[in-house]
Structure 1
Amino acid sequence: MQLDFFPSRTLTLYLAKMFVVRIFAVLVMLVLVLMALDLLSATGRILTPEGNGQAEILKYASLRIPQLISRFLPYSVLLATLITLVTLNQNSEVVAMKAAGLSAHQVLAPLLLTAAVVAVVSFAFNERVVTRANTTLKAWEAVQYEPIPDDSGVRSNVYLSDGTNVLTAATLVGSGENIQLSNVTWYQRGPGGIIIEQVKASGATYAAPGWRLADPERFDVGSAETEELGEMIVGEALTPEQIDLQSIDPDGQSFWELSETIDAFEAIGMRTSEMRANWWHRISGPLSALLMPLLGSVAAFGLARSGQLFVRAIIGMALGFAYFVVDNAALAMGSFGGYPPFLAAWAPFFLFLLVGETVLIRTEE
């Protein structure tokens, strides 16, 4: 029996190459199908603004594809694991490897190494490509697919609280006292949090203090009457510094930028559990690719002619998809404080790591 964790160099390269080809093929298939379905629903909205055409559709696709790759790469690794292991089992290659003295862990070692490389590539891709695509696409959607303002600091879907009142804006550009808000809505709330007044404006600028609304239109909820106002200043307690912090989109920031944002929030005593869970998940999310060969390994063993190969593949798929369900649920719990951020991001990973190892050791080692 070999004492090395990895099998021979030739066998390692053979299994790794087979695995990579199937990951790529499954990922391309998933992205193409999902992108086509997404375009069916989004094309009408993209073409609504005057002057938009094929170039804008291609731009949307170029921004959406990185998001799809990031989200479905772990699923691709899971499906590629099952396809690879079922193929090896059907061709009796697993039987041959075990007859040569390889343990179950040694059979899986090349796949685990490949999955680790995929996890590293996924992390780098998320940090360099996906975060920028998220920022640009959200800003574009906020202006309803019209031209985005020429400002590198554009942010979208801004939600700001001033006591019980709320100020929202479709986009924000600039910083400090030069901040400009567009498509602004001011909600004034009374006792019990009930909205008593809503004011809409095309934009808002800093009035030192407060924010001056451009062409405001007030709707009184009690009387159901609409009134156009000449000028109105709202949110006098909202400073540019607070808006700079509250309008930050964690999905558009890199791992290191998000670290600085969390420190800034904690310095002024603001809640950071959602951002902290997101920060931890930036690492645990890509690492989920490392779990897939382990969770799908049940499909590699057992005699193909026994008639249980299909059942084993279903069990492997069920374990993999169960991980994604638990991971999403834990992350949601961590976002509103139900779980500590570290536990929300890492508990599903370590739980299913132990489950996969237990299944492998109890059934094959």
Structure 2
Amino acid sequence: MTRVLNFYILRRHIAGLLMALSAALILVLVSDLVDLSGRIADGVQSAPPVLVMALLHAPSILSETLPFIVLLGSLAAFLRLARTSELVVIRAAGLSVWRILQMPVLGALVLGCLAFAVWNPIAASTLSRYEVLKSRHFDGQESQLSISAEGLWLRQADADGQTVINASRASPYGDELIGVLIFEFDTDGVLDRRISARRAVLTPGAWQVEQARIWQMDSAGAFAMVHGVDRETVIVPTDLTTSRILESFADPQELSFWNLQEFIETLESSGFSSTRHRLYMQTELAQPLMFVAMVLIAAGFSMRHVRFGSVGVRILLCVIAGFGIFFLSDFTKALGSAGTIPVIVAAWVPPIAALLLATSLLLHLEDG
């Protein structure tokens, strides 16, 4: 009997979660379509596939709001059980709150694991494709920076052609490159000049390339060295800034959870800070605990007998508690990204705090 009851509660809980997820998906798609359509009205480089872009963007937005979806879905499921007096009957049969929540909590743990193991790679893939389309149709350009095992790659274009810069390492803010190779292409895409240097420093409007060797293409189409290491500093014009370089990094959300560790190691070996990516990975790992906390908070505000006029207040208090947890999460993430507190603390304090709040609510419900 208990087994049948557990699966019945789990089924009702899953129904509530699916209802909340469907509502969130519709809201996200509508808001994204309105936003993208507004950009079209302002004028774009070319006509974008708006519906496709909205669908590609939706998984990443839903990924950010999954804890809140779990909270609202659980609240809807438990309120429905309370409204039909099923909770009263279950409690009268001698089952405690903890026994009733056994399957929803287990389901939240499984859902949290699936969120970073399965949903995250899907959302990362679709977001990457969305960003490519967005850059192509709205910004008129694609990413200017990439990092691989071969080092850092920068691309910049102007009226005279295109310049590609490769560096083995960089300073944490991207304003100094070490072990530099610069390839300059003309407007036809033909390689015109190559520069090899020990160091390049970013100044307003230009790269100052120090101790440069320069190879220039001659009339026969062959490269010949025209300057050696004693050459004065070479100036390579650029419109890049340190902020634009750092913003061009792959957003953590565009990386699959399973590729994060490798990218973090590549970032660190290139000289850049990996704090943002390490924080994102720890936050993803903390998702199961956060989901459990959301289920318990929803239960704490909804698993009482429905009385006239009290349901709306409890829903409001539950939503306020959820926003409070998300505010705390954003606050600790900001501190973690700035290096003020350790990444582990920034990622794990919000779900632990939410779990403590939920436990206190349920203890009051059970024993108070």
- Normalised by the length of structure 2, the TM-score is 0.71
Identify the residue that residue 60 of structure 1 maps to in structure 2.
Answer: 53
Bigger mean CA deviation after superposition, 328-337 or 251-260: 251-260
Q: Secondary structure at the match of 2:286?
A: helix
Q: Does 1:346 align with 2:333?
A: no
What is the aligned partner in structure 2 of residue 314 from structure 1?
316
- Which letter does structure 2 place at the counterpart of 1:83? A
Give the corresponding residue for 1:152. none
CA distance in 1, matches of 2:297, 2:24: 21
1:310-363 CA-to-partner distances (Å, cap 9, x unmatched) read 333322222222111111111121111121100000011111111111221133
CA-CA distance at 1:85 after TM superposition: 1.3
Equivalent residue of 1:203, what SS? strand
Alignment partners' CA distance in 1, 2:157 and 2:104: 51
Q: Secondary structure at the match of 2:101?
A: helix
Q: Aligned partners of 2:114, 2:260: CA distance in 1, in Å?
A: 20
Alpha-carbon distance in structure 2 between the residues aligned to 1:177 and 1:94: 60
**Distance change >3 Å, CA 310–CA 66, structure 1 → 2:** same
Tell me what 1:203 maps to: 162
1:277 to 276, 279, 301: 279
Change (3 A) 1:294 1:202: farther
Q: Using the alignment, how far apart are the partners of 2:139 and 2:315 within structure 1?
A: 47
1:233 matched to 2:236? The reply is yes
State the match for 1:45 in structure 2: 39
Q: Aligned pair in 2 of structure 1 residues 308, 181: CA closer, same or farther (>3 Å)?
A: same
Where 1:33 maps in the other structure, the secondary structure is helix
Q: Structure 2 vs 1, CA of residues 267 and 285 (structure 1 numbering), >3 Å: closer, same or farther? A: same
SS of the aligned residue for 2:164 comes to strand
1:181 matched to 2:140? The reply is: no
Kindly indicate whether residue 156 of structure 2 is the aligned counterpart of residue 156 of structure 1.
Answer: no
Gaps of 5+ in 2: 167-179, 188-203, 206-233, 239-244
Identity %: 24
Choose 1 or 2 for highest CA Rg.
Answer: 2
Distance 1:174 1:74, change over 3 A: closer
| CA spacing shift, 1:271–1:361, aligned 2, 3 Å | same
Q: 2:311, 2:362 → 1: CA distance?
A: 16
Q: How many residues align?
A: 303
TM-score (norm 1): 0.71
Runs of 4+ in 1 over 6 A off after TM superposition: none
Q: Distance in 2 between matches of 1:302 and 1:180?
A: 59
What CA RMSD, in Å, does the superposition of the two structures yield over aligned residues?
3.5
Which of 73, 79, 82 is matched with 1:86 structurally? Answer: 79
> Which whole-Å deviations, capped at 9, do the CAs of 1:206-227 have from their partners, x for residues lacking one?
4964464867xxx98xxxxxxx
Rounded to whole Å, the distance in 2 between the matches of 1:98 and 1:85 is 13
Contact 1:85 1:299 in 2 (8 A): no
| Structure 1 position 74 matched with structure 2 position 67 | yes
Q: Give the 3-state SS of the residue equivalent to 1:82 in structure 2.
A: helix
Superposed CA offset, 1:171-228 (max 9, x none): x6999599572557xxxxxxxxxxxxxxx8763224964464867xxx98xxxxxxxx
1:18 to 4, 8, 12: 12
**Contact 2:147/2:266, CA 8 A, preserved across alignment:** no
Cα distance 1:35–1:248, how it changes in 2: closer, same or farther (>3 A)? closer
Q: Deviations over 1:18-56 (max 9, x none)?
A: 111121122111221221122112125358557636xx1
